[in-house]
A and B are shown apart, each in its own frame.
Chain A
């Protein structure tokens, strides 16, 4: 069966898997942002927690993704078979780029601007919300963009622990030795990654302040 023929006959199944894939990625990204950005803000002025947080986030990135999914299965509450475990693993992967870029973005601001803000009588929270975050936003967004692209790729492996998504076709295709079935998962996953990357790049450029 040719890949095109497979696409045509299975389009609704592929579309369903794509939506499932997107759901996994979006939930994981939202959680990763909700953890990574505030954590990045917290560690800017605290060197000791900074090295711990950065080291931990880096360690998660070095664990091969399939192994990470495997490790999580026996863990109570977070682990098990299914979507929840997949989301936990994806969050751990996405954390490092977001955390690192939040830190880099906040520390990369012109010191003269921060000195002026302080000298003009802005409170620390005013400086954070009105000066630091807006100025760091494009760098933070670049981290989110990297994390999103990684997550879309890694999420295909989530099918191995029963989380569904586009990886289902890839694993099935590998088992069947069918390029057509593998491509039915790989092509939409690649397209998703490209689309997300392009959209976030656009957003990043619009928010950049130089």
Chain B
């Protein structure tokens, strides 16, 4: 399935395309979360969605793997609107990492990582080999960690397993929603650095949500800034801070205010 998605993504330059997408809540007030978003996310880029809480960045992410469907406009993944995709098939081809990892507490590390390959019907030996490969990829020794339960891991280790789990079935697209947000600053910096290097090596299309400008500058090949459900700025990290927009300046100010920020 993911090879089919890979092939389609190679044919189309944009791995993910938002065309005139709006999203309104289905509540009484019909609160508008996203307004008229148009955005191409290219194959193998690391696109960072930056914004304050409530700016709509998580909603944007959840539209990609059809956890949500747009109220207007359409989201296209591998050349096909998400509304045409079978949700289950689509999701199995897209890795997903969230804050606190969301690991299954009753599964061992190995069982967590092998979940999607198992759903896809991989043979057992291939899954076992893949689990070890993924654990090494995220810097955890398979023999030590395979059999552990999530509660026997530190926050940083859990997040590493979360990344390993998302990558296990080799999906062409990876969605990450503030994956390092709940970690202590030292561990966060460590994981950001390692993940930055990993992302370059993997060549996957990555959409990364954060409210941390430092993280965005460090990891993104392009930064898209959201404010009240609209895109207000989009640029590669090098040019981003030069954009003349009040929200960009607000984020830049937060960078200077942060103690010990050397950027």
A183-210 CB mask vs B (1 if < 8 Å, else 0) is: 0000000000000000000000000011
Are B100 and A209 within 8 A (Cβ)? no
Among A112, A131, A135, A210, point to the contact of B99 (Cβ < 8 A).
A112
Are B103 and A116 within 8 A (Cβ)? yes
Are A120 and B91 within 8 A (Cβ)? yes
Among B96, B102, B116, point to the contact of A113 (Cβ < 8 A).
B102
Q: List 14 A-B contacts (CB under 8 A).
A: A110-B102, A110-B105, A112-B98, A113-B105, A116-B101, A116-B104, A119-B91, A120-B96, A120-B115, A120-B165, A121-B90, A121-B91, A121-B119, A122-B119
Q: Is the interface of A mostly helix, strand, loop or mixed?
A: helix
- Given A120-B92, A120-B96, A123-B88, A115:B102 Cβ within 8 A: yes
Is B82 among interface residues, defined by CB-CB distance under 8 A?
no
Is A80 among interface residues, defined by CB-CB distance under 8 A?
no
Is A118 among interface residues, defined by CB-CB distance under 8 A?
yes
How far does the alpha carbon of A210 sit from the alpha carbon of B105 in the complex, in Å?
7
Q: Tell me which of A116, A120, A134 has the highest count of chain B C-beta atoms within 10 A of its own C-beta.
A: A120
A contact residues around B87 at 8 Å (CB): 121
How far does the alpha carbon of A165 sit from the alpha carbon of B50 in the complex, in Å?
69
Is A150 among interface residues, defined by CB-CB distance under 8 A?
no
B contact residues around A110 at 8 Å (CB): 102, 105
How far does the alpha carbon of A110 sit from the alpha carbon of B116 in the complex, in Å?
20
CB under 8 Å from chain A, chain B span 56-100: 65, 67, 87-94, 96, 98-100
Q: Is the interface of B mostly helix, strand, loop or mixed?
A: mixed
- Given A126-B119, A210-B105, A210-B151, A116:B88 Cβ within 8 A: no
How far does the alpha carbon of A131 sit from the alpha carbon of B116 in the complex, in Å?
14
Given known contacts A110-B102, A110-B105, A131-B104, what 14 new A-B pairs fall within 8 Å (CB)? A112-B99, A112-B100, A113-B102, A116-B102, A118-B67, A119-B65, A119-B67, A119-B91, A120-B119, A120-B165, A121-B87, A121-B88, A122-B115, A209-B106
Are B96 and A116 within 8 A (Cβ)? yes
Min distance, Cβ B201 to any Cβ of chain A, angstroms? 23
How far does the alpha carbon of A103 sit from the alpha carbon of B87 in the complex, in Å?
27
B contact residues around A122 at 8 Å (CB): 88, 115, 119
- Interface residues contributed by chain A, number (CB under 8 Å): 18
How far does the alpha carbon of A24 sit from the alpha carbon of B96 in the complex, in Å?
50
How far does the alpha carbon of A121 sit from the alpha carbon of B163 in the complex, in Å?
16
- Interface residues contributed by chain B, number (CB under 8 Å): 26
Using a CB–CB cutoff of 8 Å, the interface residues on chain A facing chain B are 110, 112-113, 115-123, 126, 131, 134-135, 209-210
Using a CB–CB cutoff of 8 Å, the interface residues on chain B facing chain A are 65, 67, 87-94, 96, 98-106, 115-116, 119, 151, 165, 175
Min distance, Cβ B78 to any Cβ of chain A, angstroms? 15
A contact residues around B105 at 8 Å (CB): 110, 113, 135, 209-210
A contact residues around B65 at 8 Å (CB): 119
B contact residues around A116 at 8 Å (CB): 96, 98, 101-104
Min distance, Cβ A30 to any Cβ of chain B, angstroms? 25
Are B102 and A121 within 8 A (Cβ)? no
A contact residues around B98 at 8 Å (CB): 112, 115-116, 119
How far does the alpha carbon of A116 sit from the alpha carbon of B151 in the complex, in Å?
17
How far does the alpha carbon of A163 sit from the alpha carbon of B100 in the complex, in Å?
55
- Kindly report which residue of chain A lies nearest to residue B1, judged by CB atoms: A121
- Kindly report which residue of chain B lies nearest to residue A208, judged by CB atoms: B106
A contact residues around B94 at 8 Å (CB): 119
Min distance, Cβ B169 to any Cβ of chain A, angstroms? 9
A contact residues around B104 at 8 Å (CB): 113, 116-117, 131
How far does the alpha carbon of A182 sit from the alpha carbon of B119 in the complex, in Å?
59
Are A121 and B67 within 8 A (Cβ)? no
